[in-house]
Chain A
Amino acid sequence: QKEVEQDPGPLSVPEGAIVSLNCTYSNSAFQYFMWYRQYSRKGPELLMYTYSSGNKEDGRFTAQVDKSSKYISLFIRDSQPSDSATYLCAMSSSWGKLQFGAGTQVVVTP
């Protein structure tokens, strides 16, 4: 079983909708949680970074971590066609290697 599970999608939503992405994990030592966005034929870029449990908001993006359920989420409000990309979750313990989910492809249709 993989340490980090992520639904590969694709997830297709109309412009303006809320995009909801999530990952589950098995390692209770994970404390650092990240979301990367990867456009087609590009490298991943850091979108959100959260330490431990709780919510973090940055513009249209909200990251949530529920350590008790070993579940993290990313919400994109008022989605735009430019949000069409693959979203990768990643997480680690202190000093540990970063573990990535397989990525969810999101398509926002005008």
Chain B
Amino acid sequence: DVKVTQSSRYLVKRTGEKVFLECVQDMDHENMFWYRQDPGLGLRLIYFSYDVKMKEKGDIPEGYSVSREKKERFSLILESASTNQTSMYLCASSIDRVGGANVLTFGAGSRLTVL
């Protein structure tokens, strides 16, 4: 089974703290993604990466950064957490494609609360 593992399931942080969310996949997938999920808004893409050390902005990158030093690991960083970043964060990966759909495999999610 493809596995995408998010190390922290639940986090509580204070405003202004630096937050690291870690994601590891074990299927040698080229592409990795970070989404946030909020009620009524669905999944919104924050950042994605199609190769080691490569990153691309998604639809809502403001206030976030990412790091991909190894193929299997993709980290999301909140430099200075704010209350409006309270959300469920989902990491996903997908195999590379030549045309065709980008079928994602998701991790279990990290629920972040910023007080």
Tell me the smallest distance from the CB of B110 to a CB of chain A, in Å: 10
Where chain B touches its partner, the secondary structure class is loop
Cβ of B45 under 8 Å from chain A: yes
Cβ of B102 under 8 Å from chain A: yes
Residue A97 contacts which of B4, B42, B45, B111 (CB distance < 8 angstroms)?
B45
Please report the number of residue pairs spanning A and B whose Cβ atoms sit closer than 8 angstroms. Answer: 53
List the B side residues contacting A41 at CB < 8 Å. Answer: 108-109, 111
Given known A88-B43, A97-B45, contact A45–B106 (CB-CB < 8 A): yes
A92 to B103, CA, bound (A): 10
How many A residues have CB within 8 A of the partner chain?
24
How many B residues have CB within 8 A of the partner chain?
22
B108 touches A46 (CB 8 A): no
Cβ of A102 under 8 Å from chain B: yes
Cβ of A25 under 8 Å from chain B: no
B42 touches A88 (CB 8 A): yes
Where chain A touches its partner, the secondary structure class is loop
A8 to B42, CA, bound (A): 9
Given known A46-B103, A49-B101, A92-B101, contact A103–B42 (CB-CB < 8 A): yes
B103 touches A43 (CB 8 A): no
A43 to B43, CA, bound (A): 11
List the A side residues contacting B45 at CB < 8 Å. Answer: 97
A88 to B42, CA, bound (A): 8
A102 touches B40 (CB 8 A): yes
A51 touches B101 (CB 8 A): yes
List the A side residues contacting B42 at CB < 8 Å. Answer: 6, 88, 100-103
- For this complex, 12 residue pairs linking A to B, each with C-beta atoms less than 8 Å apart, are A34-B101, A36-B106, A42-B108, A43-B4, A43-B109, A46-B105, A49-B103, A88-B42, A98-B101, A100-B42, A101-B42, A103-B42
Name A's B-contacting residues (CB within 8 A): 6, 8, 31-32, 34, 36, 41-46, 49, 51, 88, 92, 94-95, 97-98, 100-103
Name B's A-contacting residues (CB within 8 A): 4, 40-43, 45, 48, 58, 90, 92, 99-109, 111
